[in-house]
């Protein structure tokens, strides 16, 4: 591939560990095929670094199919890059031009501390889910779908919310590093279904409390979260979260 493809300048955030001082380092990379995915381009860079005896760039990934949310990168200031409704692993180099400079950095949020280079610790999301993002009561054995009627509108809204992959792009894009879109999606997908009703009040109160405990910021309705979400989870879920929370506090024994 030498002598062919695009020549790029990469400015990548390098940080040896959570407490180490980080900085941007500049790399020149040539022969980049427009058909490469963004992560494949980083693989090529790492091969080049290893060949020169340098430390490879750490970045997170798993499925490379846009469904796991691991590939969390800020690319030229945009979560997951310039394409809408696209994760980093689905982004292709044809979106860039020969001679471009690409700035690559990790999510920036107090609740997502940097582990190394472009890898952040998103276990705060797991702890929020652990406070109620599931159904723990006995809802009976598996039944035919028609045995438990769900209005079509509710079913569609629940599936829309359940599309959230928990990547954290909403947090990274928000000026307040708010996790409201993530939490609202996880609350909504259960609040809209009869299986989630018995634990609804306890769920929303405990998940919101954990969200605040993790240090996420508040929502000021700028809709950056919705714009950055690769699953296109709508911000209308945030309104539902607020309604569920107020209902839980005012009409039940669940207190914050």
Task: Supply the CATH number for residue 241's domain.
Answer: 1.10.1060.10
The CATH code of the domain that includes 24 is 3.10.20.30
Among 206, 187, 198, 164, CA closest to 244? 187
pLDDT at 2 > cutoff 50: no
Name residues whose C-beta falls within 8 Å of residue 160's C-beta, 6 or more positions apart in sequence: 233, 234
Q: Are 119 and 58 in contact (CB under 8 A)?
A: yes
1 in any annotated domain:
no
Mean pLDDT of the chain: 94
pLDDT of residue 54: 97
Domain encompassing residue 20? 6-116
Q: Say yes or no to pLDDT of 1 above 50.
A: no
Q: Write out the two tokens for 15.
A: 């940080």
79 plus 140 within the same structural domain? no
Distance CA 174, CA 171 (A): 5
CA 106 to chain centre: 12
Domain identity same for 148 and 65: no
Residues 63 and 35 in one domain: yes
CA distance 69 to 175: 20
- Whether 200 and 151 share a structural domain: yes
Q: Which two tokens stand for residue 147?
A: 């045995």
pLDDT bucket at 4, cuts 50 / 70 / 90: confident
Q: If pLDDT is split at 50, 70 and 90, which confidence band does 134 have? A: very high
190 contacts 139 by C-beta, under 8 angstroms: no
Task: Looking at the structure, tell me whether residues 138 and 167 fall in a common domain.
Answer: yes
**End-of-domain residue from the set 116, 145, 163:** 116
Instruction: State whether 132 and 80 are in the same domain.
Output: no
Specify the number of domains making up the chain: 2
Whether 41 and 63 map to the same domain: the answer is yes
Residue-wise pLDDT for 58-92, tens only, equals: 999 999 999 999 999 999 999 999 999 999 999 99
Q: How many CA atoms lie within 13 A of 72 on its CB side?
A: 28
* Residue 256, domain member (yes or no): no
Question: How many other CB atoms are there within 10 angstroms of residue 144's CB atom?
Answer: 6
What is the four-CA torsion angle of 103, 106, 107, 112, rounded to 10 degrees? -160
Global pTM value: 0.93
């Amino acid at each position: 591939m030498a002598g062919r493809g695009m020549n790029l300048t990469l400015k990548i955030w390098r940080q040896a560990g959570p407490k180490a001082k980080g900085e941007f380092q500049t790399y020149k990379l040539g022969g980049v095929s427009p058909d490469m995915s963004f992560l494949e381009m980083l693989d090529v860079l790492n091969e080049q670094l290893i060949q020169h005896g340098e430390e490879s760039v750490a970045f997170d990934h798993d499925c490379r199919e846009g469904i796991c949310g691991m590939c969390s990168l800020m690319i030229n200031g945009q979560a997951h890059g310039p394409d809408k409704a696209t994760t980093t692993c689905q982004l292709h180099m044809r979106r860039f031009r020969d001679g471009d400079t690409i700035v690559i950095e990790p999510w920036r949020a107090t609740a997502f501390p940097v582990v190394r280079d472009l890898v952040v610790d998103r276990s705060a999301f797991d702890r929020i889910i652990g406070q109620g993002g599931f159904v723990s009561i006995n809802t009976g054995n598996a039944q035919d779908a028609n045995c438990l009627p769900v209005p079509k509108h509710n079913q569609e809204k629940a599936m829309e919310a359940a599309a959230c992959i928990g990547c954290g792009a909403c947090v990274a894009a928000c000026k307040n590093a708010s996790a409201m879109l993530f939490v609202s999606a996880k609350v909504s997908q259960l609040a809209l279904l009869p299986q989630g009703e018995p634990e609804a009040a306890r769920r929303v109160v405990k998940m919101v409390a954990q969200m605040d405990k993790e240090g996420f910021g508040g929502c000021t309705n700028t809709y950056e979260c919705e714009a950055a979400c690769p699953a296109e989870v709508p911000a209308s879920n945030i309104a539902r979260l607020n309604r569920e929370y107020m209902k839980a506090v005012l009409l039940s024994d669940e207190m914050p």
